[in-house]
């Protein structure tokens, strides 16, 4: 029974990934830039954050994988996403919490290797104490909607 379920799962994956292009990147090949999302010419995060697109194109259909690099003492204001956000911490520690305001006392520390899933439309925030790199897997549209519009650097 387990083999049948595994075969069905793998068969489904093959069908889903039929149009996926092979991507092979070495760390030195990553192109880090400002995190600008479709529909805006301005970065979606405060100054200092950097993004490298690993797979897909944010804003186009299909899956997207990005890496985000945050400097020490960086804060990501409370926000939500249209789709699930799957996060793996690659370096440093990401502190994250739920809610409509940054409450460091109610956040959890996710060290290198940690895995977090933020469901679609789930209000959350994050912050760092040291340089931190995360990898995010999502389905497009890849977006960020700030709870307080004044926190959105694209609107300033």
Q: Is the pLDDT of residue 10 over 50?
A: no
CATH class of the domain comprising 24-155:
mainly beta
pLDDT of 37 > 90? The answer is no
Overall average pLDDT of the 62-88 stretch? 96
Mean pLDDT for 53-72 is 91
How much is the pLDDT for 142? 82
Report the percentage of the chain scoring pLDDT > 90: 67
d(CA 52, CA 21): 17
Q: Mean pLDDT across the stretch 28-41? A: 84
- Domain locations in the chain? 24-155
pLDDT at site 1: 37
**What is the arithmetic mean of pLDDT over 64-81?**
96
Q: Binning pLDDT at 50, 70 and 90, where does residue 99 land? A: very high
- Between 131 and 4, name the one with better pLDDT: 131
> What's the confidence (pLDDT) of residue 47?
94
Residue 29: Cβ-neighbour burial (10 angstroms; 0-12, 13-18, 19+): exposed
Q: How many CA atoms lie within 13 A of 48 on its CB side?
A: 14
φ and ψ at residue 4, rounded to 5 degrees: -65, -45
Please compute the mean of the pLDDT values over residues 85-96 and round it to a whole number: 98
């Amino acid at each position: 029974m387990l083999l049948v379920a595994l075969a069905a799962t793998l068969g489904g994956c093959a069908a889903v990934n039929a149009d996926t292009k092979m991507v092979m990147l070495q760390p030195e090949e990553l192109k880090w830039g400002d995190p600008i999302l479709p529909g805006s010419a301005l970065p979606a995060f405060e100054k200092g954050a950097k993004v490298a697109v690993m797979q897909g194109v944010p804003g186009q259909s299909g899956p997207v994988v990005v890496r985000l690099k945050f400097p020490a003492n960086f804060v990501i204001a409370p926000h939500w996403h249209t789709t699930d956000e799957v996060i793996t911490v690659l370096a440093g520690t990401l502190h994250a919490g739920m809610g409509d305001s940054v409450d460091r006392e109610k956040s959890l520390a996710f060290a290198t290797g940690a895995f977090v899933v933020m469901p679609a439309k789930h209000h959350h925030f994050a912050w760092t104490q040291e340089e931190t790199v995360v990898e995010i897997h999502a389905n497009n549209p890849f977006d960020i909607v700030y709870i307080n519009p004044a926190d959105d650097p694209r609107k300033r």
